[in-house]
């Protein structure tokens, strides 16, 4: 009987194809309306934009972004909490508003527009003939206006900024009055500023974390942030008595809610093991009250800068702390950037360390590459890009590295105020093989430990060459190498495993050759440069008249004179061997600069702004 009923023709009313289609499209349309309403009412999922940074000191502009390496593009989400009559957002070489590449939202009081623009050397705005900031969505939400837009790393438009690895200087400006047109915007009258970030974060997979992992927070004890623009705050913490050896396997920032725009960067240092105790201290790092002994707390355990995420060690390695031969004392240093001079802000920010007693196969180590801190390396005044290079030679790596080599997984670049670019290249048998880390828009105000996109293997006999580019256009006398903030450094702290005895692999020009330079300059110039042995190297540099000849000869000297190599063990003792008057490594083959990858042209997009319906923008 069941079978019979099944075989009967269906008595349902038959639907014509047109009606089915009509119902289908009505359902789709209804779904889309629901979707649009839902989108308008809620912010996008945070997971879509894993990186976040406040642009302005009040935190009214919040930038989130993600990076797509397959698409070679960045997706930006800008939250404007207090929209007035629009805003400029963009990128420039060092954070200037001239020669900048900009996305602009503006209103004439009735209608709103979005467009890709650029500013010339005088700061005048122009609509870009190629619209490469692609607006995806503009949406109001209870917390403010969200703008979502996309930008390819490289657009092959000469007016556009090339987004590269390393530091990017982001700029913003708020329009407080309606403007007739893009060209009518006066950049110099804007309320604006800059924020530095690493836009192209490495796409690394997060290692599995052990079940016995513990956390420890090294945080400021409810500090009142001083009401001045810049403060470096120091706080001493200590590990429990008898704390055994552990591995740090990750760390992340702990930032007090509301202070996200004030906490600029933070570092945790371990103190030197040769002292049994360190005094307690909680105060500004430059205070006369700070005990001198705190200067012996320089071994970096963790470093974070604004916009950085959690830092993970590779699965095979951890950073050792605790146990015999390791100090119990730690120094937290926080840089507060408070340009609006807020008063009475309390802060308990710091760094959360994740550590394990189940030691991983390898201890991680930190090695210093670059130039020795010495005045024999100097930069003449008035230079726009003077280059100094520090070497870690094949002779040193041959002696100090294990046969299986080491693996570099992270790097922190460091110069003082004149530094503009830093790059370390691995060279093997005279041929440059690989860039270890490079920052073509380096800023001394933004130094973070960066995980590398790919681990770099270094073998005995390899060379690591670190080059720094400096700008001294605002200086009237020579800048010498040294520890002072107006002296210079050129360093790459590389994080690697397995740890070796090699802590420092750096060079400087041979002092004897520099003495010959001073002799030559003295013979060539009428002005007497005192060559007396009692006159210090900085004094001799300060007394040089910086004509073209003296500049060029110094450049040539650094490019060919033999070097003094520092191939040092942890104890600041050199490895045995002859390290003076070493020949400069010769490079027979350079790495080719990769040309920019141009995305397929989306067809000539008209150089016209996109009109937006944001309703009447408020008048103050």
Query: In this structure, are residues 219 and 330 in contact, taking their beta carbons and an 8 Å threshold?
Result: no
CA distance 108 to 116: 17
Considering only CA atoms, which of 349, 373, 379, 233 is closest in space to residue 294? 233
- For the four alpha carbons of 40, 45, 48 and 51, in that order, the dihedral sign comes to positive
CA distance 180 to 184: 6
Of the residues 126, 414, 445, 515, which is catalytic?
Answer: 414
Query: In this structure, are residues 543 and 530 in contact, taking their beta carbons and an 8 Å threshold?
Result: yes
414 counts as catalytic: yes
Query: In this structure, are residues 565 and 579 in contact, taking their beta carbons and an 8 Å threshold?
Result: yes
Query: In this structure, are residues 67 and 199 in contact, taking their beta carbons and an 8 Å threshold?
Result: yes
Query: In this structure, are residues 569 and 90 in contact, taking their beta carbons and an 8 Å threshold?
Result: no
**What number is the average pLDDT over the span 21-43?**
40
**pLDDT (0 to 100) of residue 13:** 40
DSSP string, 22-84: HHHHHHHHHHHHHHHHHHHHSPPPGGG--EEEESSTTS-EEEEEEEETTTTEEEEEEEESS-S
CA distance 439 to 166: 5
Counting other chains too, the contacts that 549-558 makes at CB distance below 8 Å and 24 or more residues apart are 549/524, 550/380, 550/521, 550/524, 550/525, 551/380, 551/383, 553/517, 553/520, 553/521, 554/378, 554/380, 554/517, 555/386, 555/387, 557/509, 557/513, 557/514, 557/517, 558/377, 558/388, 558/389, 558/509
**What number is the average pLDDT over the span 487-503?**
94
Query: Two tokens at 136?
Result: 């995806």
CA distance 450 to 494: 10
Summarize pLDDT for 270-295 with one digit per residue, the tens: 999 889 999 999 999 989 999 999 98
**What number is the average pLDDT over the span 516-521?**
92
CA distance 235 to 233: 7
End-to-end CA distance of the chain: 80
For residue 409, pLDDT over 80 is answered with: yes
List Cβ neighbours of 338 (8 Å cut-off, separation of 6 or more): 57, 225, 226, 227, 228, 229, 230, 231, 262, 345
**pLDDT (0 to 100) of residue 27:** 44
**What number is the average pLDDT over the span 112-124?**
94
% of the chain at pLDDT higher than 70: 88
CA distance 438 to 432: 14
Q: What are the phi and psi torsion angles at 47 (to 5°)?
A: -65, -20
Query: Two tokens at 433?
Result: 């093989």
DSSP string, 154-198: ----TTS----SSEEEEEEEE--S--SSGGG--GGGSEEEEEEEE
For residue 230, pLDDT over 50 is answered with: yes
Please state, rounded to an integer, the average pLDDT across all residues of the chain. 88
Confidence of residue 466 (pLDDT cuts 50, 70, 90): very high
List Cβ neighbours of 108 (8 Å cut-off, separation of 6 or more): 178, 179, 180, 181
Summarize pLDDT for 216-227 with one digit per residue, the tens: 999 999 999 999
Query: In this structure, are residues 557 and 549 in contact, taking their beta carbons and an 8 Å threshold?
Result: no
For residue 246, pLDDT over 90 is answered with: yes
**pTM of the complete model:** 0.85
CA distance 526 to 545: 10
Question: Poorest-confidence range of 3-17, 83-97, 549-563?
Answer: 3-17
**What number is the average pLDDT over the span 478-501?**
93
Considering only CA atoms, which of 167, 172, 394, 383 is closest in space to residue 261? 172
Q: What are the phi and psi torsion angles at 605 (to 5°)?
A: -85, 135
- Domains of the chain and any CATH numbers: 51-199 (2.60.40.1210), 209-360 (2.60.120.310), 365-525+546-594 (2.60.120.230)
CA distance 370 to 505: 7
Summarize pLDDT for 289-340 with one digit per residue, the tens: 999 999 889 888 898 888 788 899 999 999 999 999 899 999 999 999 898 8
CA distance 68 to 284: 41
**pLDDT (0 to 100) of residue 35:** 35
- Per DSSP, the three-state class of 568 is strand
Helix and strand totals (H; E) in the chain: 6, 37
337 counts as catalytic: no
Of the residues 51, 232, 281, 513, which is catalytic?
Answer: 232
């Amino acid at each position: 009987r069941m079978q019979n009923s099944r075989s009967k023709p269906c008595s349902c009313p038959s639907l014509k194809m047109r009606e089915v289609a009509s119902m289908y499209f009505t359902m789709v349309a209804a779904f889309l309306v629901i979707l649009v309403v839902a989108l308008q009412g809620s912010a996008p999922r945070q997971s879509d934009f894993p990186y976040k940074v406040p642009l302005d000191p009040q935190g009214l502009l919040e930038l989130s972004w993600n990076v797509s390496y397959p698409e070679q593009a960045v997706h930006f989400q800008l939250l404007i909490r207090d929209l007035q009559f629009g805003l400029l957002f963009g990128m420039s070489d060092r954070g200037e508003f001239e020669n900048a590449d900009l996305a602009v939202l503006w209103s004439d009081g009735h209608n709103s527009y979005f467009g890709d623009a650029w500013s010339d050397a005088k700061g005048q705005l122009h609509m870009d003939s190629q619209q490469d900031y692609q607006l995806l969505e503009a949406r109001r939400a209870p917390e403010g206006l969200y703008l979502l837009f996309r930008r390819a790393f490289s657009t092959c438009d000469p007016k556009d900024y090339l987004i590269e690895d390393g530091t990017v200087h982001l700029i913003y400006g708020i329009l407080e009055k309606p403007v007739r047109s893009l060209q009518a915007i006066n950049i110099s009258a804007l309320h604006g500023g800059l924020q530095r970030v690493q836009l192209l974060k490495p796409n690394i997979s997060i290692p599995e974390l052990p079940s016995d992992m513990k956390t420890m927070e090294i945080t400021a004890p409810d500090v009142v942030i001083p009401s001045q623009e810049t403060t470096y705050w120091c706080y001493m913490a200590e590990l429990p008595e008898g704390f055994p050896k552990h591995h740090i396997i990750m760390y992340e920032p702990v930032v007090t809610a509301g202070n996200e725009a004030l906490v600029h960067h933070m570092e945790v240092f371990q103190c030197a093991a040769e002292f049994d105790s360190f005094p307690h201290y909680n105060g500004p790092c430059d205070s006369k009250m700070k005990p001198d002994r705190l200067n012996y707390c320089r071994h970096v355990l963790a470093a974070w800068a604004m916009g950085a995420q959690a830092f993970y060690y590779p699965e095979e390695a951890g950073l050792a702390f605790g146990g015999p031969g390791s100090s119990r004392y730690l120094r937290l240093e926080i840089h507060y950037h408070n340009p609006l001079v807020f008063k009475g802000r309390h802060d308990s920010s710091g760094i959360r360390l994740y550590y394990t007693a189940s030691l991983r196969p390898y201890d991680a180590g930190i090695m210093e590459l670059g130039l020795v801190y010495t005045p024999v390396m100097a930069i003449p005044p008035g230079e726009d890009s003077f280059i100094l290079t520090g070497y870690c030679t094949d002779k040193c790596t041959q002696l100090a590295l294990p046969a299986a080599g080491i693996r570099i997984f992270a790097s922190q670049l460091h110069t003082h105020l004149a530094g503009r670019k830093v790059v370390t290249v691995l060279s093997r048998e005279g041929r440059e093989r690989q860039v270890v880390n490079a920052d073509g828009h380096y800023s001394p105000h933004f130094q973070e430990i960066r995980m590398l996109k790919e681990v770099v293997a270094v073998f005995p006999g390899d060379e690591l060459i670190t080059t720094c580019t400096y700008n001294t256009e605002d200086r009237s006398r020579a800048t010498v190498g040294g520890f002072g903030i107006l002296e210079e450094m050129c360093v790459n702290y590389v994080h690697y495993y397995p740890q070796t005895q090699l802590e420092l692999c750096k060079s400087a020009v041979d002092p004897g050759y520099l003495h010959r330079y001073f002799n030559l300059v003295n013979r060539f110039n009428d002005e007497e440069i005192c060559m007396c042995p009692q006159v210090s190297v900085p004094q001799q540099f300060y007394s040089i008249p910086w004509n073209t000849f003296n500049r060029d000869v110094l450049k040539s000297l650094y490019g060919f004179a033999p070097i003094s190599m520092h191939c040092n063990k942890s104890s600041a003792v050199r490895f045995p061997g002859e390290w003076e008057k070493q020949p400069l490594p010769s490079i027979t083959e350079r790495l080719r600069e990769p040309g920019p990858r141009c995305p397929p042209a989306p067809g000539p997009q008209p150089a016209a702004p996109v009109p937006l319906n944001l309703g009447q923008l408020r008048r103050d």
